[in-house]
Chains A and B, each alone.
Chain A
Amino acid sequence: MATYAQPIATRRRASGIPTGRLAMWWLLGSEIVIFGGLLMCYLLFRHSYDHWHVAASHTNTVFGAVNTFVLLTSSLLVVLAHQAAESKQGGKAFIYLWLTIGGGLTFLMIKSVEWTMEISKGYTLPSNLFWSFYYTAAGIHASHVIAGMVAMAIVSFDVLKGRNLQRVELVGLYWHFVDIVWIFLFPLLYIAK
C-alpha cells in the first residue's frame, strides 16, 4: 500500500476541523486582541480629546474609500480562489490568488501616495497623538497586508502544481481578517471628522 506523508495540519482533526484551519482561527483570535486593543485606545482618546476631529479632518476620505473598495474586491477574489481550489482547479486558484496579491499591491501603492502627501504637509508620526495613532494603526495594518501577500505568493506556486490546495482557504481567512480590520479603520480614521 502506498505510504506518503501529509502535513499534520491536513489530517489530525481532534477538534472536528482540520488542524491548519483551527490554527488560523486561533491566530485570528489573537489578532482581534491586537487590533481591538489599538482601536479601543483610539476610541478612548478620540472621545476624550475633542480637538482630534480637527486633526482627523486632514485625512483624505477619497484615498480611504478607494482602498476600501480595493480590499473588499480582493476579498471577493480570494474567496473565488478558495472555491477554485475546492474544485481542484489549481491553475484557476493560482490566477485568483495573484489577482488578490495585485489588489494588495494597489492598496499599498495608494497608501504610499497618501502618506507621501500627508508627510509633505508636515503631518508625521510625532506631530501629535492623533497622527501617532493614525500611522501606527495604518502601518500595522499595512504590514499585515504585506504578510498576507507574501503568504499567498508562497502558497500559489504549490497550488499551481495541484499541491496543498487546502492552504488557499487558510490564506483566504487571513486576508478576509485584514479586510475586516480595514472596514473598522476606514470610518475611524477617514469618516468621523
Chain B
Amino acid sequence: MASTTIAHAPQDDHQGPHHGPGFYVKIWALLMFLLIVSILGPMLEHPMLTLITAFGVAVVKAVIVAGYFMHLKIEKRFITYMLLGMLAMVGLFFAGTAADIHRLQGTNWVNVARFQYIEKSLEEIKKLGESGEHH
C-alpha cells in the first residue's frame, strides 16, 4: 500500500527572536500610555497638538500592534509590501477624489446642492441639540 509522508509546517516559522509574555505585557503598557496621551493631548485644544496626539499617536499605536502583536516585524518582507500596496490604493482613492469634494465653487460653477445641504444640516444639528438638552 502506497504511503506518503506529509511535511508538516512548524507552528511558527517567523524569522526572528521569540519573546516571552513579559515582553507583550510591556508592549500593552506602552499602548496604554499612548492611549492616555491621545485622550489628554486634545484637551489642551491646540489644533496642531490635537493632530499629533490624536492621529499621530494612532499611527504609532497601529504600527506597534502590527509590528509586535501581529509579528509583522519578523514576517516575510513581501507581506509588508503587500499591505503597503493596499494602503497606497487607499491613498490613490483619496488623492483622486479630494480635489472634487473639497471645492464648493469654481470659475464657472457653484455646487448649489452642497450649499443647501450645509444649511439644512446646520438647522438639523441645531434642532437635535435643543431636543438633546431637553432629554
- A→B interface (CB under 8 Å): 1-6, 10-11, 13, 15-18, 22, 25-26, 28-30, 32-33, 36-37, 40, 43-45, 47-49, 51, 54-55, 58, 61, 65, 68-69, 72-73, 75-76, 78-80, 83, 85-86, 88, 120-123, 127-129, 165-166, 169, 172-173, 176-177, 179-180, 183-184, 186-187, 191-193
Contact = CB atoms under 8 A, between A and B. Distances in A.
A25 B61 contact: no
B62 A121 contact: no
Contacts of A11: 6-9
A165 B9 CA distance: 12
Nearest to B35: A68
The 8 A-B pairs with the shortest beta carbon distances in the complex, nearest first, are A36-B90, A187-B54, A32-B86, A76-B28, A1-B3, A191-B54, A40-B94, A29-B86
Interface residues of B, number: 62
Interface string B1-20: 00111111101110000101
Interface of B: 3-9, 11-13, 18, 20-21, 24-25, 27-28, 31-32, 35, 38-39, 42, 50, 54-55, 57-58, 61-62, 65-66, 69-70, 75-76, 78-79, 82-83, 85-87, 89-90, 93-94, 97-98, 101-102, 117-118, 121-122, 124-125, 128-129, 131-132, 135
A48 B101 contact: yes
A45 B132 contact: no
A157 to B, nearest CB: 19
A48 to B, nearest CB: 6
A85 B51 CA distance: 39
Contact of A29 (B57, B83, B118, B124): B83
Nearest to A80: B21
A26 B86 CA distance: 10
B102 to A, nearest CB: 6
A173 B132 CA distance: 40
A155 to B, nearest CB: 14
Contact of A72 (B4, B35, B78, B87): B35
B72 to A, nearest CB: 9
B28 A86 contact: no
B102 A32 contact: no
Contacts of B35: 65, 68-69, 72
Given A32-B83, A83-B21, A75 B65 contact: yes
